[in-house]
Amino acid sequence: MGIRISDKCRGISPSATLRLNALVAEKRAQGQDVISMAAGEPDMDTPEAIKAAAIRALEEGKTKYTATAGIPALRQAIADALNKHHGLAYAPSEVMVSSGAKQALIGCLTAVLNPGDEVLLPSPCWLSYPELIRMADGVPVLVETTVGTGYVPDTKSLQAKLTGKTRAVLINSPNNPTGAVYNRAELEEIAAFAKTHDLAIISDEIYDAFVYEGVCHVSVASLSEDAKNRTVIVNGFSKSFAMTGWRLGYAAGPKGLIAAMDAYQSHAAGNPNSLAQYAGLAALEDSHMAQGIVAAFAARRKRLLAGLEGIPGTRFFPPQGAFYVLLDVSGLIGKSYQGQDIADEMVFAELLLEHQGVSVVPGGPFFAPGTCRLSYAVSEARIDEAIRRLKAFVSQIAG
Ligand SMILES: Cc1ncc(COP(=O)(O)O)c(C=O)c1O
């Protein structure tokens, strides 16, 4: 008899990609060359100036507890950045630093939801959202979007899922996994819907720097005073500054809500890592660092999209942001590879890994059946090789 696990924790799904990750590790241990297009993080190192700031902070003994919501200089720098990029005026007291965007999301959901409250969640979506909502005692309500509408929800689709318990809408633009970037008109529609039904808007903008070919990232909070007052922006340093391991994120929103999140965080986690906060401060001081990272991704995106063009049985929605392509492989499902049935996208991903050493994430956990997510957080040379292998794999699919 061990310790009984709570219903809440037993209900949390472990990552659906664990089996594939184990297969990747096994193949690499056998010395096989696996190209991973599964990663949700930039492959490059954190820029030197950011690392130097952390080293300096360490040497200066900045190793004690800080204010739970973050050092004042960083809260101010985040407020300044939001002002510079979106014309949004936040006071430092309306900004909270967190241990990654994830920590800000769980704090925000906990501060907004009472048990049983529903959150409208456009899908396909990042697989952690439904779990985070449930962990905060809320109920995720998927609002399906399709490639036909550019994976953006409209009023009709939101309205169809609205009930008396709907409390918030959670949006993510640029989007993981679709790469969709909501434009101003689309965001205005969402903001108007939220105003009509008095909903909070939780806006995860972690991929804000990753937009391509002249597309702009618009923050929903910047649309009007009403939109600002009902929105919590969640963002972080993980993607834009190649800082996934540092665990540094933030939220910006109405003062009362940020204070509630601060109270929650003070017990649940305490302050984010002090050295990471000084590193984050250095990151915000030089926007060229993020630009360098994004420029590399822009070139990779171009290369990958050109390579994916015209592979039989597949198609894709051209992503405008983030660093993923959702490849629709439904045209290959039901066929066979060397006598093995491709029953679904999971089998497709397993066979591709097994026979060609390319790892992709099946779309099921993102509520995108019939697709696989390809991350282009790999070099252009590896992208070329991955395309070659993918074509070789598909050319042997029959039926
Ligand atoms: C949409 C989205 N939000 C948030 C996160 C988590 O970011 P962080 O590393 O800051 O916790 C991720 C990470 O993959 C993500 O894809």
Summarize pLDDT for 221-239 with one digit per residue, the tens. 999 999 999 999 999 999 9
Gap between the Cα atoms of 27 and 150, Å rounded: 36
Gap between the Cα atoms of 252 and 79, Å rounded: 8
Q: Which residue carries 């049985």 as its tokens?
A: 313
Report how far ligand 1's centroid is from the alpha carbon of 394 (Å): 31
**Span 64-286 CATH architecture:** 3-Layer(aba) Sandwich (3.40)
142-149: average pLDDT: 94
Summarize pLDDT for 24-73 with one digit per residue, the tens. 888 889 999 999 999 888 999 999 999 999 999 999 999 999 999 999 99
- Token pair of 112, please? 């907004």
Gap between the Cα atoms of 132 and 152, Å rounded: 22
Question: In the structure, which protein residues have their CB atom closer than 6 angstroms to any atom of ligand 1?
Answer: 40, 100-102, 126, 172, 176, 204, 206, 236, 238, 244, 249
Q: Specify the ligand 1 atom closest to the Cα of 249.
A: 10
358 CB neighbour count, 10 Å cutoff: 24
Report how far ligand 1's centroid is from the alpha carbon of 234 (Å): 10
378-386: average pLDDT: 96
Show me where the domains of the chain are located.
7-45+289-398, 64-286
Report how far ligand 1's centroid is from the alpha carbon of 204 (Å): 8
315-329: average pLDDT: 96
* pLDDT greater than 80 at residue 18: no
Q: Which residue, by CA, sits nearest to atom 14 of ligand 1? A: 40
pLDDT at residue 287 in the model: 76
DSSP per-residue string spanning 46-94: PPHHHHHHHHHHHHTT--S---TT--HHHHHHHHHHHHHHH-----GGG
The DSSP call for residue 119 is E
Summarize pLDDT for 85-112 with one digit per residue, the tens. 999 999 999 999 999 999 999 999 999 9
Instruction: Read off the amino acid at residue 226.
Output: D
Gap between the Cα atoms of 235 and 253, Å rounded: 12
Distances (CA, A) of 120 to 172, 231, 238: 12, 14, 25
- Token pair of 31, please? 């010395």
Q: Which residue, by CA, sits nearest to atom 13 of ligand 1? A: 40
pLDDT at residue 16 in the model: 67
DSSP per-residue string spanning 258-302: HHHHHHHHHHHT-S--HHHHHHHHHHHH-THHHHHHHHHHHHHHH
Q: Specify the ligand 1 atom closest to the Cα of 248.
A: 10
Predicted structure pTM score: 0.96
Q: Specify the ligand 1 atom closest to the Cα of 204.
A: 3
- In whole angstroms, what separates CA 281 from the centre of its chain? 22
CATH assignment, 7-45+289-398? 3.90.1150.10
Distances (CA, A) of 174 to 177, 202, 216, 241, 365: 9, 14, 10, 16, 19
Q: Specify the ligand 1 atom closest to the Cα of 101.
A: 10
